[in-house]
Amino acid sequence: MGFPDSMTESLTELRDSLHGDVLGPSDSEYERARLCFNLLIDRRPAAIARCADAGDVATALAFAQEHDLEIAVRGGGHNPAGHCVVDDGLVIDLSRMRRVEVDPDARLARSEGGATWLDFDAATQARGLVTPGGVVGSTGVAGLALGGGIGHLTAQYGFTCDNLVGAELVTPAGGVIHANDEQTPELLWGLRGGGGNFGVATRLTFRLYPLSTVVGGRFEYAGDGVREALRTFRNIDALADDDLSCQAQLKVDETLSPALTVAPCYTGTEEDPEAYRALRSAPGLVSDGVRRHDFLDQQRVFDPGYGVDRNYWKGHFVRELSDELIDLLIVSMGALGRPPGAVLIESLRGAPKRIDPDGAALGYRAAAFNVSVMASWTNPALDDEHIAWARETAAAIEPWSVSGGYANYMQADEPLERVRAAFGPESFDRLRVLKSRYDPANVLHRNQNIPQL
Ligand SMILES: Cc1cc2nc3c(=O)[nH]c(=O)nc-3n(C[C@H](O)[C@H](O)[C@H](O)COP(=O)(O)OP(=O)(O)OC[C@H]3O[C@@H](n4cnc5c(N)ncnc54)[C@H](O)[C@@H]3O)c2cc1C
């Protein structure tokens, strides 16, 4: 695709004014740089500004507004909705801003806006420290933290955003503002769940905890035992202390026989806690990969390739994982007649329930689990079928829902009501006030958007 001469000249101007670089469609790195985790998204931006610092971000924001280009902000590129890339617009790409500085005495980490969890964990683990983050290394720290953050240490330390103690933001007007508890507590509250709505985060500061090894990995179950194994997962989760986080992933194999992965992460002192004994004796266990290992190994328990398949996700925070819901999920996995993807079940027990709910905008602390239907496939001809499967399965879960779905897993087609429900009406209105203050023209709308008032 070609661009008018005036745009080509303007891009040269942008190139000259950045410390970072600018990719256009004719650059060899453009194809890789526009790629999302989700292959369902195939967009061609006018340009990708790979910013090197906060000044570059301000310049790119000003350039886009001056030239009427829609803006997308790219961290790790993982958002399933593809918010990080926009047709014919400008991508503000933070992938060159990935430095993570650790202050072991203050137990704080300062992460640049484009760092991934791999960058973050490598830096913090070098000091034997950790913050609860995402479970896949290539996910962006900022995107995940600003939308909540559920992972292997949720029960122990809360959501990622609960541990966000400060941020540096460049607003669409070009100002650099600092969010912290002392001067801008309302903004910090909004950043804990409200996503990239208020500015481009060039730096985020997180609280850290000492932790080097965990007892974790994967238990795999297959066949008829899966139903009972999933019940065991639910039962041990209900009784566990805060030193155990647990996730489960339900799938089917090529013959449509159920398969279950349970990925626990225990940080207590025992080598073989009671919960693990129950999981080891559950029916259908075919592989036991749970052992003491480095936290960095735990962060590789799920390691999907980037940009290899098409994804459509939809889910609900649920009040309970009843026997009836478990049965429904297992039956749903066979409904398409071929492996449709997975259902991810993330426990929200533990620290999230004890943390002051008024400290963060996100609003699903009361839920027991986050149940996400994750269709994934490779053949474009199957798009409609897999999307329909995800929608139908998510609709069937709705009777157990306590609020809207998890903003970080939402597709772009979710209605505003679902976004509102994920926060609750009061918090949503507070977020709208913040939006009006920091981005009154809704320049940053490629996200789970909070409309201005
Ligand atoms: C394979 C995979 C694994 C995942 N694992 C987890 C998990 O374990 N736990 C969990 O809670 N979620 C998880 N997620 C969901 C993830 O948290 C969200 O998709 C999140 O938006 C990804 O952030 P990103 O920076 O990688 O994405 P991007 O697509 O680059 O950005 C997503 C959104 O965040 C905004 N954004 C990103 N960086 C900034 C910034 N610096 N300043 C302002 N706005 C910014 C963008 O505007 C965009 O709207 C996972 C997603 C995938 C695909």
Q: Which atom of ligand 1 is nearest to the CA of 159?
A: 11
Instruction: With CA atoms as reference, report the closest residue to 63 among 103, 30, 16.
Output: 16
CA of 113 relative to ligand 1 center, distance in Å: 11
Pairing of the two strands 291-294 and 310-318: unpaired
Q: Residue 404's pLDDT is what? A: 81
- Both tokens of residue 139? 């996910």
* Contact yes or no for 258/279 (Cβ under 8 A): no
* Contact yes or no for 162/359 (Cβ under 8 A): yes
Burial of 401 (0-12, 13-18, 19+ CB in 10 A): middle
CA of 95 relative to ligand 1 center, distance in Å: 13
In this structure, the number of other CB atoms found within 10 A of the CB of residue 10 comes to 18
Q: Residue 63's pLDDT is what? A: 97
pLDDT average, residue stretch 312-326: 97
- Residue 259's DSSP bridge partners are 222, 251
Q: Residue 419's pLDDT is what? A: 87
Name the band, by pLDDT with cuts 50, 70 and 90, for residue 8.
confident
What does DSSP assign to residue 107?
T
Ligand 1, pocket residues at CB < 6 Å: 37, 73-80, 83-84, 94, 113, 134-136, 139-140, 142-144, 146-151, 196, 200-201, 304, 408-409, 446-447
Q: Residue 363's pLDDT is what? A: 87
Q: Residue 35's pLDDT is what? A: 96
In this structure, the number of other CB atoms found within 10 A of the CB of residue 255 comes to 8
Poorest-confidence range of 18-22, 217-221, 424-428? 424-428
- Both tokens of residue 244? 């155990």
Q: How far apart are the first and last CA of the chain?
A: 37
Summarize pLDDT for 341-358 with one digit per residue, the tens: 999 999 999 999 999 989
Q: Which helix (H) or strand (E) holds 58?
A: helix 54-66
pLDDT average, residue stretch 442-452: 95
Is the dihedral angle over the CA atoms 447, 65, 139, 32 positive or is it negative? positive
Residue whose CB lies within 8 A of the most ligand 1 atoms, among 100, 299, 408, for a mutation test = 408
Is a pLDDT exceeding 50 seen at residue 27? Answer: yes
* Contact yes or no for 347/247 (Cβ under 8 A): yes
Poorest-confidence range of 6-10, 142-146, 366-370? 6-10
Report the alpha-carbon distance of residue 193 to residue 364 in Å, rounded: 10
Residue having the nearest C-alpha atom to atom 36 of ligand 1: 143
CA of 205 relative to ligand 1 center, distance in Å: 17
Residue having the nearest C-alpha atom to atom 49 of ligand 1: 447
Q: Name residue, tokens 């949720």.
A: 154
Q: Which helix (H) or strand (E) holds 165?
A: strand 164-170
Summarize pLDDT for 153-197 with one digit per residue, the tens: 999 999 999 999 999 999 999 999 999 999 999 999 999 999 999
Q: Which helix (H) or strand (E) holds 14?
A: helix 5-17
Is a pLDDT exceeding 80 seen at residue 138? Answer: yes
Q: Where are the alpha helices (DSSP H) in 201-358?
A: 226-239, 274-280, 295-298, 323-333, 351-354
* Contact yes or no for 369/315 (Cβ under 8 A): no
Across all residues in the chain, what is the average pLDDT? 96
Instruction: With CA atoms as reference, report the closest residue to 336 among 406, 399, 383, 405.
Output: 383
Instruction: With CA atoms as reference, report the closest residue to 409 among 341, 326, 352, 337.
Output: 341
- Both tokens of residue 251? 């799938």
Residue having the nearest C-alpha atom to atom 3 of ligand 1: 136
- Residue 306's DSSP bridge partners are none
Q: Is 401 helix (H, G, I), strand (E, B) or coil?
A: strand
Is a pLDDT exceeding 60 seen at residue 1? Answer: no
Name the band, by pLDDT with cuts 50, 70 and 90, for residue 303.
confident
Q: Is 73 helix (H, G, I), strand (E, B) or coil?
A: strand
Summarize pLDDT for 109-126 with one digit per residue, the tens: 999 999 999 999 999 999
Name the band, by pLDDT with cuts 50, 70 and 90, for residue 418.
confident
In this structure, the number of other CB atoms found within 10 A of the CB of residue 136 comes to 21
Summarize pLDDT for 49-77 with one digit per residue, the tens: 999 999 999 999 999 999 999 999 999 99
pLDDT > 70: what percent of the chain? Answer: 99
Q: Residue 5's pLDDT is what? A: 64
Helices and strands (DSSP H and E) totals, the chain: 15, 21
pLDDT average, residue stretch 391-397: 98
Report the alpha-carbon distance of residue 426 to residue 21 in Å, rounded: 42
Q: Angle at which helices 416-423 and 425-438 pack, to 10 degrees?
A: 110
Is a pLDDT exceeding 50 seen at residue 2? Answer: no
Name the band, by pLDDT with cuts 50, 70 and 90, for residue 7.
confident
* Contact yes or no for 113/178 (Cβ under 8 A): no
Q: Which atom of ligand 1 is nearest to the CA of 139?
A: 26
Task: Phi first, then psi: give them for residue 21, nearest 5 degrees.
Answer: -125, 170
